Structure 1
Amino acid sequence: MSYTSLQQLVDRVQSSDYGTRTVSVINATESHVLEAIRDAEKDGLVTPILFGDQAVINEQLVKLCMEPTDYIVEHADSPEQAAIMAGQSLASGRADFLVKGNISTGKMLKALFSTEADFRTGGYISHLSIIELPNHPKLFGLTDAAINITPTLEEKKAIIRNAVGTMLAMGFATPKVAVLASTEVVDEKTPSTIDAAALKVAGMAGEFGDCVVEGPISYDLAMDPESAEIKQFDSPIQGDADLLVCPEIVSANILIKALRYAGYSRSAGIVVGGRGPIVLTSRAAATQDKYWPLVLAASATIGKHQQSSR
């Protein structure tokens, strides 16, 4: 299926037979994170475990009119220790996904990637955004705007594999994957077009699972059926992409910000490829901006639960 709004993902989680998802919050001493957790809990999406300085967390809970005794709070002496403890909760099955609280992304990932945290499974870590764009008929994904700077061809394969697997778990049916470039023609002077063509071949060989891969393809042909028709671009996608794969982090970051500030989109992103998703948002982000990634992660983990129980 396809979705027309982020709210439909909320509905999917709420109607699931698998109940709320347990989320471990890394250094849960920041009010906006706790507010987002409170809202998601109120909507029946998550049950939290809060890691960090217990006294500070309890103080923040009281300020937000949240009763500390209603929550599991596990003390950590440092943000890094909180990350390790949260990773262990995921590895042990206590939690379904993680949320970054009051800790820098670099410190969090370094702690999670340690042997002690047991977060990594040998796979490749990447970032996936899901975007709701006004006047566009459906939600679509974009990768990778946050983690991988200049991925190699093999790393791009892992990024696509992560994104497709996550979108399938969220309920997207056979995602149409557009490997973006400046043109739909392979040009030896433009390495991104060469990689895109190779990724299309890999997709046709079934390397990414249940999806359709097109590349190289320009943004207009991936997202606008009229442009594809005018240019007589013959492809299964033809303006109907479900997932945009950018050649590197600069183009991905520019595109997602252009869609937000010029296109007035709403988006949410999660880190995928480990034992479970990580909700990764700016510490300066507003509460609502931290709510939607919780929805994505909850939806993805419910989907994986459904797949594993078949």
Structure 2
Amino acid sequence: MHTEDTRRDGLRVLRERVRGLGPIRMAVVHPCDETSLRAALDARREGLIAPILVAPRARLEQTAGTLGVSLRGIDIQDAPHSHAAAEQAVALARAGEVDALMKGSLHTDELMGAVVARDGLRTSRRVSHCYLLRTPHYPRPFIVTDAAINIAPTLAHKADIIRNAIDLAHAIGVAEPRVAILAAVETVNAAMPATLDAAALCKMADRGQITGGLLDGPLAFDNAISLAAARVKGIRSEVAGRADILVVPDLESGNMLAKQLMYLGDAASAGIVLGARVPIVLTSRADTYESRIASCALALLLAHHYRSTPP
């Protein structure tokens, strides 16, 4: 399947899931460049969000003028600078006035610092990022986590990363997601900490400390996504070869894996942050239109999911 066809198909699947749900209120934090403001307006036009733009009004109007668009009818919360915009957006979410956040033209650390502050949007969970990917080379959408937030997650962090990914899988309709915990090999090796973590996480699932999914690991990437590779290695597993969630050892490996899939594997993508009180869309200047819209569709699904199952 051609790359553009894959992206449209991935978008169609998400749009079918959100059809009839209605837009959510989303605080868009400091969308003061053309890319981030256009993303908010595109998602509004698609009926996914009712944006509240939190940013310096003068800069917003200047950016809108450059784009040749009108901000008439859109709620604007004036903020003196990006740091204040992040704090104001978090306050809106904490007060229940918005259902989700979207990053604009500020650094991720600046937004997430306000989210995880003591008076921010923390829950008992570690905050983590999930990429939802769909490639013509794999028969179903799948999740890669964490490739954007946690640099070197501990065992406890990985447990929350998995719990968050399982929540996302449930929200998109996967009742019992298969979770592959990745390492370079499929055997436990004391010299490779990722394999020890994988084994411990599987035992945590056996003891009911992680629920809602089926875990296995350590699994090398080929064994996680290829039944043929798993059979050659003699791996007997309900997860191997058909994973719904790929849990990476650290941010660097996850970021490289996700971007290789996007740029070399023709993968359509959407990204979302979970573990806070509301879902958070982290847009990138390199994101396609389809990716931005799909990410907002994920936020919409999660916002509705959180109403029945609070994070």
The TM-score with structure 1 as length reference comes to: 0.91
Are residue 297 (structure 1) and residue 302 (structure 2) matched?
no
Q: Distance in 2 between matches of 1:96 and 1:274?
A: 11
Give the structure 2 partner of residue 103 of structure 1: 106
Cα separation, 1, equivalents of 2:156 and 2:216: 17
Is the contact between residue 146 and residue 247 of structure 2 (CA under 8 Å) also seen in structure 1?
yes
Q: Note the residue ranges of structure 2 that are not aligned, 5 or more in a row.
A: 1-8
Instruction: Quote the offset at 1:63 in angstroms.
Output: 4.2
Query: Which residue of structure 2 lines up, in the alignment, with residue 198 of structure 1?
Result: 200
1:129 aligns with 2:131: yes
Deviation (angstroms), 1:257: 1.8
Aligned partner (choices 22, 32, 36) of residue 33 of structure 1: 36
Return the letter of the residue paired with 2:248: C
Give 3-state SS (helix, strand or coil) of 1:98's partner.
strand
Partner of 1:216: 218
Q: Distance in 2 between matches of 1:304 and 1:277?
A: 9
Question: Is 1:87–2:105 an aligned residue pair?
Answer: no
Deviation of 1:67 after TM superposition, in Å, equals 3.0
Tell me, in whole angstroms, the C-alpha distance in 2 between the residues paired with 1:94 and 1:216: 42
Distance 2:229 2:79 in 1: 54
The 3 A distance-change label for structure 1 pair 208 and 110 is: same
Amino acid at match of 1:24: A
1:150 corresponding residue in structure 2: 152
User: How large is the RMSD of aligned CA atoms in angstroms?
Assistant: 1.8
Give the structure 1 partner of residue 18 of structure 2: 13
SS in 1 for 2:205: helix
CA displacement at 1:65 relative to structure 2: 4.6
| Alignment-derived partner of residue 5 in structure 2 | none
What is the TM-score of this pair, normalised by structure 2? 0.91
- Cα distance between partner residues in 2 of 1:59 and 1:149: 36
Q: Is the CA contact 2:180–2:215 (under 8 Å) kept in the aligned structure 1?
A: yes
Moved more, 225-234 or 142-151: 225-234
The one-letter code sitting in structure 1 at the alignment partner of 2:179 is V
1:74 equivalenced with 2:77 (yes/no): yes
Deviant stretches of 4+, over 6 Å? none
Offset from partner CA, 1:251-275 (integer Å, 9 cap, x none): 1112112212221212221121111
**Is the counterpart of residue 114 in structure 1 residue 117 in structure 2?**
yes
Find the aligned partners of 1:25 and 1:54 in 2 and give their Cα distance: 13
**How far apart are residue 62 of structure 1 and its match?**
4.3
- Cα deviations by residue, 1:26-73 (Å, 9 ceiling, x for unpaired): 012222222222222222211111000112213333444543221000
Q: What is the aligned partner in structure 1 of residue 254 from structure 2?
A: 252
1:286 Cα shift? 4.5
Q: Structure 1, unaligned stretches of length 5 or more?
A: none
| Residues 33 and 227 of structure 1, relative CA distance in 2, 3 Å threshold | same
Aligned length: 302
Give deviations 1:166-191, integer Å, cap 9, x for gaps: 22123222110000111111111111
Residues 140-161 of structure 1, C-alpha deviation per residue, up to 9 Å, x if partnerless?
A: 0011111111111111111111
